[in-house]
Amino acid sequence: MTARHALIPAAGRGARLDRPGTPKPLVDLGGDPLILRLLRQLERAGIERATIVLGYAGDQIERALTHVPGLKMHLDFVHHPGWEAGLASSVLAGRAHHDKPFVLAMADHLFDDKLIDLISSARPLSDGVIALVDTHTASVFDLDDAVKVRGALAPTDLGRHLPTYDAVDCGLLLATPALFDALVKSGGEDLTDGLNRLARAGKMRGLRVEPETWDDIDTPAALVHAELRLRRARRASVLAGPATGPAVPATHTFTTGAPRETEVVVKRGLVRNPVNAGVIPAESASSPVFVLTDETVNGLYGDAFIEPLRAAGYDVHRLVMADGEESKTLASYTHLAERILGKGIDERSVLISLGGGAVCNVCGLLASTLYRGVGLVHVPTTVMAQCDAAISHKQGVNGNRGKNLIGAYYAPLRIVVDVDVLATLPDPAVPDGLAEVIKHGIAQDAELLNRLLEHRGDIRDPAFLESVIRRNIELKCRVMAIDPQEHHEGMVLQYGHTVGHPVEYLSGYRLSHGQAVAVGMMVAGRVARLLGACDDRVVAVTERVLQQYGLPTRVPDGIRTPDILEGLRFNKRYLTEGTRMALVKAPGELWSVDGEHAIPVSEAVIAAAVDASREVPGRQAVNA
């Protein structure tokens, strides 16, 4: 090892990545502020002393780095009043602390440990600079903004706009005091001005690095790209644990099952005319059929739906569960399963849900598990179920730690949507269901969002409801067809649900699903804004449309932020590396980075967004 000192310019404003109250060097990456991660790496590589040049939010950065547990490196803080003059000026501000070779590291970069080791152990170039360069330019994220290098290992020119180049500067150098002289003589504002002077004098060398071992984190997308790379590396390190040799190869393989097509029918009057609705397939005509409903829907439509089927000769049995989310439990599932098995069922039997989301979910789990799968038909009777719960192959019940923790993917044979039954819904249930329509408008279809914003009539108007429900079903079917497991474009279906689910659960289901998702969308909009993925429009339009439809926009005061963060751990997209969310970059458009729509988000950002979305003391949230 030849260098024991480091110089870290951390003075710039970093406007594209700064967050309210968090300057760029303190932005979290992989659980640590960017600059602290760099300092720990330098210390592990043997660097004993680091000079940090500060400018914008300098006092805040110094406080954050003072008395860091476990960090033994000596830190010198240089507050540079002329930091706005550019990077060259900030590097020169640290000149008094460096009369020997030193590592120059950019505070807003992510480097693999081996790059830090490589540069700190290199032999210094007399009166010159050694720079790490990446010749795999095709793999460089945001190449347009990178500093290009002509003559990779023996650089002759550097700049962001070189017409021809064969490498990219990685932002990690082994320098000598000659760099300070070159910066003074060049008179430029940028570090590349001094580097070019050295390069043209033959005083610069390049060290080639492997691809995808560093990141320049200058934009929100670059931050997400770096976080994704860190998480992939963490998984790879687990796989590269104790060597056990290759897995034993398979002796045989087999593939089972064929894709099942689900038919969706949208037509009025079918609940009272179920025979024409085709809810019982021809091959199931002689098998026992079970209709699962809840107490309220049974009183309204139970006889009207079941008696025509019995009159047509079908063997129909009625099962009635308690109303609401509280009945969506394993205990309820077990009780109903035993009743069905006790009455008798065969492999061609059909289970029909007649009710809202809870009925659809419980009925779906029963159908997916009894005899390892029997026929399933949904007849949803709420806006929520017609827009969301029934239009799905996700079936399940709640667990003691959160919503939908126990379930299966199981496609219905047919879904019958009759908006006439919505006329008997209580008033709060209509906006509750429209929350899912709003979700698709905000995250998938700006035209639908505008239609919702422009509507000035009665939200119970059947023509309006049928119009937006049809569009919502079309959008949901489209995305399920290309991403049924919701890992990519299908993440739109999770918009607002990451925080919405724990909020719903922690409210003791005092908040309905739609109300909780509305709060979750408000938080998601603020997360995207904090990350820099969107501008203020997304937050503003989200609040406007939710308020227009009487939905809450604030986290209830009784629900603590730490409890919400704990609830996120029971989301299947949490993984071991942390939370991933669907986020919006503009109204009607999901944000994606590197083709990933499940965006990694730190707990600190989520907590800040939750706290910014809290009820104002003394003011009651809408419908909350």
Q: Quick one: tokens of 290?
A: 């079970």
pLDDT band (50, 70, 90) for residue 263: very high
Does position 234 have pLDDT exceeding 70, yes or no?
yes
Does position 516 have pLDDT exceeding 60, yes or no?
yes
pLDDT band (50, 70, 90) for residue 575: low
Q: Quick one: tokens of 466?
A: 């049928």
pLDDT band (50, 70, 90) for residue 188: confident
Among 180, 72, 179, 69, CA closest to 130: 179
Residue 260, number of CB atoms within 10 A of its CB: 11
Range 66-102 burial, b when 16+ CB lie within 10 A, else e: eeeeeeeeebebbebeebeebbbbbbbbbbeebeebb
28-52 per-position pLDDT tens digit = 998 899 999 999 999 999 999 999 9
72-98 per-position pLDDT tens digit = 999 999 999 999 999 999 999 999 999
Among 401, 390, 400, CA closest to 362: 390
Q: Which CB contacts under 8 angstroms, 24+ apart, belong to 305-311?
A: 305/271, 305/272, 305/274, 305/354, 305/379, 306/274, 308/272, 308/273, 308/274, 308/275, 309/274, 309/275, 309/279, 309/280
pLDDT of amino acid 403: 82
State how far Cα 624 lies from the chain centre.
25
pLDDT of amino acid 621: 43
Does position 261 have pLDDT exceeding 70, yes or no?
yes
pLDDT of amino acid 622: 40
Range 435-472 burial, b when 16+ CB lie within 10 A, else e: bbbbbbbbbbbeebbebbbeeeeebeeeebbbebbebb
In the chain, % of residues over pLDDT 70:
96
pTM of the entire predicted model? 0.85
139-181 per-position pLDDT tens digit = 999 999 999 999 999 999 999 999 999 999 999 999 999 999 9
Q: What residue type is 256 in one-letter code?
A: T
CA distance 315 to 330: 27
CA distance 230 to 224: 10
If you search the block for the tokens 């180049």, which residue do you land on?
165
Among 214, 3, 234, CA closest to 109: 214
What are the residues facing 601 on neighbouring strands? 579
Query: What domains lie within the chain, and their CATH numbers?
Result: 5-233 (3.90.550.10), 262-425 (3.40.50.1970), 473-624 (1.20.1090.10)
Mean of all residue pLDDT scores within the chain: 92
How would DSSP label each residue in 40-92?
Answer: HHHHHTT--EEEEEEBTBHHHHHHHHTT-TT--SEEEEEE-TTGGG-HHHHHH
Q: What are phi and psi of 560, to 5 degrees?
A: -80, 145
CA distance 144 to 148: 9
CA distance 459 to 70: 59
pLDDT band (50, 70, 90) for residue 64: very high
pLDDT band (50, 70, 90) for residue 520: very high
CA distance 303 to 329: 26
Cα-only R_g, the chain: 30
Counting Cβ atoms within 10 Å, is residue 64 exposed (0-12), middle (13-18) or buried (19+)?
middle
* Average pLDDT of span 385-392: 93
Q: What are phi and psi of 294, to 5 degrees?
A: -110, 175
Q: Is 151 left (phi over 0), alpha (psi -120 to 50) or beta?
A: left
pLDDT of amino acid 18: 63
3-state secondary structure of 260: coil
Among 199, 184, 191, 189, CA closest to 129: 199
Asked if residues 413 and 350 have their Cβ atoms less than 8 Å apart, the reply is yes
How would DSSP label each residue in 446-465?
Answer: HHHHHHHHH--S-TT-HHHH
